[in-house]
Amino acid sequence: MPERPAGQLTGPVRIVGAGLLGASIGLALRARGLDVQLEDLNPDNLRTASGLGAGVPVTGDEPEPQLVVVAVPPDHLGDVIVAALEAHPAAVVTDVGSVKSGPLATVASHVAADRYCGSHPMAGTQHSGPLTATPTLFEGRPWAITPHTSTSGAARGLVEELVALTGAMPLAFDPDDHDRAVARTSHVPHLMSALVAGRLAEAPEGHLSLSGPGVRDVTRVAGTDPGMWLQIVPANAPAILELLGQIRSDLDLLEAAIRSDDREALEGVLANGVAGTRAIPGKHGGPVRPMASVFVHVPDHPGELARLFVDVGEAGVNVEDVRIDHDPARAGGQVELVVEVARVEVLVAALEARGWAVHQ
Ligand SMILES: NC(=O)C1=CN([C@@H]2O[C@H](COP(=O)(O)OP(=O)(O)OC[C@H]3O[C@@H](n4cnc5c(N)ncnc54)[C@H](O)[C@@H]3O)[C@@H](O)[C@H]2O)C=CC1
Ligand SMILES: O=C(O)C(=O)Cc1ccc(O)cc1
């Protein structure tokens, strides 16, 4: 295939699988003025996605796509990518699947594999289907681009443009290395979250009333629709099993340390955890900036949250993250504002001066 200079993703883009990911990509591309064609086996999802403005359902009369984005569940990726390469002999084909080596194995023997370049955005919500699709889903998020040995420069270039148009941050990975990376950063964390959350379901009556932000943080991702994970985990079994083996040894060490009250070994486990959290890159891949939480009691009246955020804005402090919980002490909410450590004093002083009950 001839090399295509950069800056030439003009569409049409065909999206196969108009669920959460497909419809969100469609919305992002429509916002940039590209023609988007939608295909889905499920007529309800197709109707919802096109109704939201993510693109136009295919009829068979439309022009050939320049780029096909396959966004179907993991079990079907390989076959649907091959079908797209065959159906659209001039198009570049990518997919957004969570695991790259399996689909590539299906595609690799295909004569037109040079037109295929895998990819994987690290963004989602806890819901599947197009209803919660949003054009901003990918903004500032990492999006892996996983060319294989025979991917053409032109195919890779077009996928890079797709990623740039959605506002995501492109990161190049070899497909196998990508799978090892997401086993560590996404798949095993999800399974660990499910294991911890699973112990909550059988808790004796009353115990869960002591739930605080900690348990919510650790179990949040376990609450996502399990359907997709039932396909992701088997698709990345080798990389996941390797990490689970290491965690099993860590658990043995931890259990022994607790049994023998070995504080040094326990400290080692906890220190490793601290080192791990600090190793996660900061926003947009930048350096990690130390963060701290400021907790604010918000009375249970309409408009109070809005007033709080106006006051934070006027204090000139950027909120990096925010969580809202019931206040265990009084009626109302407790808002946790995560800000840079260096901004905590300014924020606390400004909020107290405006009458907010604040603690750290
Ligand atoms: N949900 C997430 O958080 C993320 C998902 N992914 C990957 O993106 C892909 C799509 O995931 P979601 O959008 O969440 O799933 P989804 O379930 O919301 O959407 C999948 C869509 O594909 C359609 N479909 C299934 N088989 C099809 C076929 N053969 N031809 C045409 N349409 C077909 C379904 O009807 C559905 O509308 C998956 O491979 C997943 O691994 C990647 C990053 C994040
Ligand atoms: O795990 C995360 O960090 C998410 O944001 C959600 C998610 C789920 C599955 C993926 O393949 C990619 C991202």
Q: Report pLDDT digits (tens) over 58-85.
A: 999 999 999 999 999 999 999 999 999 9
Judge whether 90 lies within some domain. yes
279, 303, 321 — which closes off a domain? 279
Q: Is 195 helix (H, G, I), strand (E, B) or coil?
A: helix
DSSP class of residue 189 equals: H
Q: Which of 30, 143, 54, 129 is nearest to 96 (CA)?
A: 143
pLDDT of residue 104 exceeding 80: yes
Q: Is 98 in the pocket of ligand 2 (CB under 6 A)?
A: yes
Q: Are residues 111 and 162 in the same domain?
A: yes
In sequence order, the 6+-apart residues with CB closer than 8 A to the CB of 280 are 288
Instruction: Please report the atom of ligand 2 found closest to the CA of residue 124.
Output: 6
Q: Got the DSSP string for 238-295?
A: HHHHHHHHHHHHHHHHHHHHHHTT-HHHHHHHHHHHHHHHHHS--GGG-----EEEEE
Give the percent of the chain with pLDDT over 70: 96
Domain shared by 28 and 144, yes or no: yes
Least confident among 5-14, 217-226, 254-263, 266-275: 5-14
CB 34 within 8 Å of CB 85: no
Lowest mean pLDDT among 22-26, 167-171, 201-205, 330-334: 330-334
Question: Is residue 39 a contact partner of residue 113, using CB atoms and an 8 Å limit?
Answer: no
Does the Cβ of 181 fall within 6 Å of ligand 2? Answer: no
Q: What is the pLDDT of residue 286?
A: 65
CATH code at position 194: 1.10.3660.10
Domain range for 148: 13-173
pLDDT above 60 (res 5): no
**Long-range CB contacts (< 8 A, 24+ apart) of 182-186?**
182/98, 182/99, 182/120, 182/122, 182/144, 182/236, 182/239, 183/236, 183/239, 183/240, 183/242, 183/243, 184/239, 184/243, 185/122, 186/98, 186/122
Work out the pLDDT band at 329, boundaries 50, 70, 90.
low
Ligand nearest the Cα of residue 120 is 1
In a domain, 7, yes or no: no
Which numbered atom of ligand 2 lies nearest the CA of 182? Answer: 11
pLDDT of residue 1 exceeding 50 = no
Question: Do 184 and 169 lie in a common domain?
Answer: no
Does 122 lie in the same domain as 105?
yes
Q: For ligand 2, is residue 191 a contact (CB within 6 Å)? A: no
Residues 102 and 242 in one domain: no
**pLDDT on residue 125:** 85
The reply to whether 28 falls in a domain is yes
Which range, of 64-68, 190-194, 283-287, averages the lowest pLDDT?
283-287
Tell me whether residue 121 is in a domain: yes
Q: Are residues 156 and 269 located together in one domain of the fold?
A: no
The residues pairing with 334 across neighbouring beta strands, listed in sequence order, are 297, 325
Q: Which of 256, 279, 302 is the last residue of a domain?
A: 279
Most confident residue range from 59-68, 219-228, 318-327: 59-68
**Which CATH number goes with the domain that contains 80?**
3.40.50.720
Say yes or no to pLDDT of 328 above 70. no
- pLDDT at position 3 is 41
